[in-house]
A and B are shown apart, each in its own frame.
Chain A
Amino acid sequence: MMHSNLIDKKLTFCVFFSIVSSISYLICDLYKLPLFTYYPAVDEFALGFAKMTETQGPAMYWYGWICTASVFAAPISLMAVLFAFSKKVTNLISNFVWILIWLLLPVFINSLNFYWYHA
């Protein structure tokens, strides 16, 4: 029984982490919320969102978005475990976690409009 509960908790954490981190990543991308900015030309970092500069070259936000999403998702997933949803709710969410990608995909495609219409 205890073993089963532990497995349920692990499953709940993993499923919630996937959901929250994916949605957070989308929000970070849309609203420019990286934890840090990386300048690959000079190998420098800046905290939060920083623009490209003439001396530092192009700025990269992807690493920062992943970190923001992970940092945000971890405590929320822990809270989901502590909150202990009923087994039915957890099972339902677990069964449909894969749909999330297909729901987010059109939003990501739309966020890249610049590339589709520039071509």
Chain B
Amino acid sequence: MEYLQSIVSPEVYWSLLLIIHGLISVTLIGALSHQAFSLLKNASPKKNNIVARYGAVQGSIYTSTVCILWIITFLFGGWIYARYRIAIRIPMEQQGIWLTQGFFELKEHLVTLGFFLLPSYYALWKFDPDNEFLFAKKYLTLTLTFLCWYSFLVGHIVNNVRGFGS
């Protein structure tokens, strides 16, 4: 990383990290949405429409992937967050962009709550082969999906308002 920092400007370096963070979060959104959809829809791969087929997956196969992706995205976000505090938040405060910052602060709390929910999410999906906790799995997955979509959109908006190097 030090080598990368020595050959590119700080703006490019942090923008690259932000892009990686964004790309991993896209895969996380995909995995979570797919899993959530499989719980919502009474789908079947035999039905001849894209919605039914999209939901006709075995939800449990996404569990480990979701946990790993959430942790990686969270770590990347935490890494970039320090730079955000200096290079993004201070200029936004000076420009009086408070509402956007408020939504971003809320994102910070929500992704952390999502991070703390991961052990439950993993345990419920992995240690319950008989679907005793189907209700919990369904609403926990939907909650994590909401948190993920909210965080992705707010992060995207903040980047639009003031990205690294702007």
In the assembly, what is the distance between CA of A28 and CA of B140, in Å? 24
Q: Please, what's the 1-or-0 string for B83-124, where 1 marks a CB less than 8 Å from any CB in chain A? A: 101100110000010110111011011101111111110111
> Would you call B113 and A104 a contact (CB within 8 A)?
yes
Given A62-B108, A98-B136, also A11-B116 (CB < 8 A): no
Is A50 an interface residue, CB under 8 A from the partner?
A: no
> Would you call B119 and A18 a contact (CB within 8 A)?
yes
Is B50 an interface residue, CB under 8 A from the partner?
A: no
In the assembly, what is the distance between CA of A107 and CA of B105, in Å? 13
> Would you call B135 and A119 a contact (CB within 8 A)?
no
In the assembly, what is the distance between CA of A98 and CA of B142, in Å? 9
In the assembly, what is the distance between CA of A116 and CA of B98, in Å? 7
CB neighbours (8 Å) of B99 from chain A are 115-116, 119
> Would you call B90 and A22 a contact (CB within 8 A)?
no
Q: Is the interface of B mostly helix, strand, loop or mixed?
A: helix
> Would you call B113 and A25 a contact (CB within 8 A)?
yes
> Would you call A98 and B90 a contact (CB within 8 A)?
no
Q: Please, what's the 1-or-0 string for A24-52, where 1 marks a CB less than 8 Å from any CB in chain B? A: 01000100000000101100000000000
Taking residues whose C-beta sits less than 8 angstroms from the other chain, chain B's interface range is 35 or more
Determine how close the nearest CB of chain B comes to the CB of A44; give it in whole angstroms: 12
Given A97-B140, A98-B139, A119-B102, also A58-B86 (CB < 8 A): yes
> Would you call A29 and B109 a contact (CB within 8 A)?
yes
CB neighbours (8 Å) of B119 from chain A are 13-15, 17-18
> Would you call A22 and B117 a contact (CB within 8 A)?
yes
Query: Which of B82, B106, B128 interacts with A109 by CB under 8 Å?
Result: B106
B contact set with A: CB distance below 8 Å: 78, 81-83, 85-86, 89-90, 96, 98-99, 101-103, 105-106, 108-110, 112-120, 122-124, 127-128, 132-133, 135-136, 139-140, 142-143, 147
A contact set with B: CB distance below 8 Å: 7, 10-11, 13-15, 17-18, 21-22, 25, 29, 38, 40-41, 57-58, 60, 62-63, 65-66, 69, 73, 91, 94-102, 104-105, 108-109, 112, 114-116, 118-119
7 interchain pairs, CB-CB under 8 A: A17-B116, A58-B86, A62-B108, A63-B78, A91-B132, A101-B143, A114-B102
